[in-house]
Structure 1
Amino acid sequence: MEKNAENIKKIAAMIDHTNLNPCAKKADIEKLCTEAIKYGFASVCVNPFYVPLASQLLADSPVKVCTVVGFPLGAVSIDDKASQAGLLVDEGAREIDMVVNLGLVKDGAWEDVFEDIYAVRCAINDVYIPGEPKILLKVILETCYLTDEEIVKCCQAAEKAGADFVKTSTGFAILKDKDGKLLPNGATVHAVELMRKTVGDRLGVKASGGVHNWEEAWAMVKAGASRIGASAGVQIVS
């Protein structure tokens, strides 16, 4: 895709401008929100603590507040995920990115995987205010840990549970080869293509982790991504 003004605007509108750094300061979140408004990003994605601040800063803009639940491991109880999601929506989040329980996935406990996601969907619905735009739920699969079959089954569980998106990665996974060398842990074209093939046009697909520039972003969109999660949003569209 040619990097012209029209296409830059199109890609920018797909970006969740992200700062999930555990050391992020208030000034960093203020900068993130200012950039999101300036460049027309879809949302800012922040840690739960900063949801009230981001909601205040973006109150008069079309940029949504996105946050994370069960992040980055996904290994908390269903009740914890559900209660956190409900609280964060109450505080102003309009998009929730939850991490699936990978232990359940590896056990092949697909009904429990469904329940994990469905509980968050229900908690979001319980605090939804009628007449407002739908609160989006994105399910992070952490694809670097999964087989193709597990990716497909996770996507199916997410769709059954009422999720709006499936998402590749947290960007925080650690994957090593037999010699201890770090391996890629973020979005891949293969994973995005597989996820899109599985959910069709019924759900969105978010490519997140390791998307640093225009070429990488476009490769993900071409593979089927409808959202890009990136801390390099400004770099991508500049």
Structure 2
Amino acid sequence: MPTPANPSLQLPLLDLAKHLDYTQLHIGTSYELLRQITKKAVQYGCATVCVRPQHLGWTLDILAGSATKACVVIGYEYLTEQFTLQEPATQESLSRYSVPWATKLEKLEKILTLLELFEPKVELEIDYLPNLLDYLRAAPQKTYEEINHFIAYVRQRSPETLVKLIGENYFLTDEQKAQIYTWGKQAGFDFFKSCSGYTARGATIEDIILMQQIAQNQIKIKAAGRVNQYNYQGFLNLGVDRIGSSQAEEILVHHQTLLGEALCKGGS
């Protein structure tokens, strides 16, 4: 039975879905699988479907007219499921964060143009991964400038688009995390996101608390990276605004079981 000691168990199923970014970032994902995931996200009423830029077009006709938004990642070009980033940070692993600014800008412009031309309108969120190679190889000013240039470009081109800054907490000290998220707060990001999903450790309770201390209720928090049906409650109980997971359906089914409710699929 739900108890007051666990606030997440008092969250109705459809409200939980509004906290979920149903994520599919595999480079080789199939058209059929991604469309199936998108349909489920809409049926459940998830906040977004989170995909790579090259897969966005596969989702739009399903998302159109629904409350579920599109979410696209920027800066993931060199991150693949064949390479899980490990500690310690090596030149090889960090080089996977060194996506050129021109490449990010080109991808961003294509995404925004596609959505401008698509009817009916689909709302957009962007999960942005900055260049950590510069940051961790003694050129933090370059990362600072890129973070500010990115958010300024989005605000100029698409002011209504929500943008999340990924700190990639796994590789950073607490002091480095605080610096990057403080930059993001000053620049005007809408969310802090804990992880790309491509490191050996994902979201942690300690990192979420640190992010909240920086955010001071002015920036929303997204827990991402290895969040599943077994640990999502801990993040919800901390008050995160969003959870990113490729196991969104499993989370919802598990939550339904805990609530003892019939799994009624919502959304519009």
- TM-score band by shorter chain is 0.7 to 0.9
Indicate whether 1:32 and 2:37 are aligned: yes
Bigger Rg, which one: 2
- Say if 1:30 and 1:212 are closer, same or farther in 2 by CA, change over 3 A: same
Structure possessing the higher relative contact order (Cα contacts under 8 Å, 6 or more residues apart): 2
Aligned counterpart for 2:16 among listed residues 2, 11, 22: 11
Aligned counterpart for 1:203 among listed residues 216, 219, 234: 219
Aligned residues of 2:7 and 2:237 also touching (Cα < 8 A): no
Percent of aligned positions with the same letter in both sequences? 26
Indicate whether 1:119 and 2:142 are aligned: no
Structure 2 residue identity aligned to 1:10: D
Indicate whether 1:187 and 2:206 are aligned: no
Aligned residues of 1:47 and 1:68 also touching (Cα < 8 A): yes
Q: TM-score, normalised by structure 1?
A: 0.86
Cα distance in 1 for partners of 2:175, 2:239 equals: 18
Cα distance in 1 for partners of 2:139, 2:188 equals: 18
Cα distance in 2 for partners of 1:107, 1:119 equals: 20
Cα drift, residue 193 of structure 1: 0.8
Aligned residues of 1:75 and 1:102 also touching (Cα < 8 A): yes
> What secondary structure does 2:223 align onto?
strand
> What secondary structure does 1:45 align onto?
strand
Aligned counterpart for 1:169 among listed residues 160, 184, 195: 195
Cα drift, residue 221 of structure 1: 2.1
* Range with greater deviation from structure 2 (197-206 or 75-84): 75-84
Aligned residues of 1:115 and 1:161 also touching (Cα < 8 A): no
> What secondary structure does 1:29 align onto?
helix
Structure 2, unaligned runs of 5 or more: 1-5, 80-95, 116-122, 254-268
Aligned Cα root-mean-square deviation (Å): 1.9
Cα distance in 2 for partners of 1:222, 1:114 equals: 32
Structure 2 residue identity aligned to 1:84: K
Cα drift, residue 162 of structure 1: 2.0
Aligned residues of 2:8 and 2:237 also touching (Cα < 8 A): no
Aligned residues of 1:170 and 1:209 also touching (Cα < 8 A): yes
- Counterparts of 1:1-238 in structure 2, within 5 Å, are 1=6, 6-71=11-76, 72=79, 73-92=96-115, 94-107=124-137, 109-128=139-158, 134-173=160-199, 184-213=200-229, 215-238=230-253
Residue by residue over 1:191-232, the C-alpha shift from the partner in whole angstroms, topping out at 9 and shown as x without a partner, is 11100111111111111111111x511211223421100000
Q: TM-score, normalised by structure 2?
A: 0.77
Structure 2 residue identity aligned to 1:123: Y
Cα distance in 1 for partners of 2:16, 2:138 equals: 36
> What secondary structure does 1:75 align onto?
coil
Alignment: residue pair count: 223
> What secondary structure does 1:23 align onto?
coil
Cα drift, residue 61 of structure 1: 0.5
Cα drift, residue 81 of structure 1: 1.6
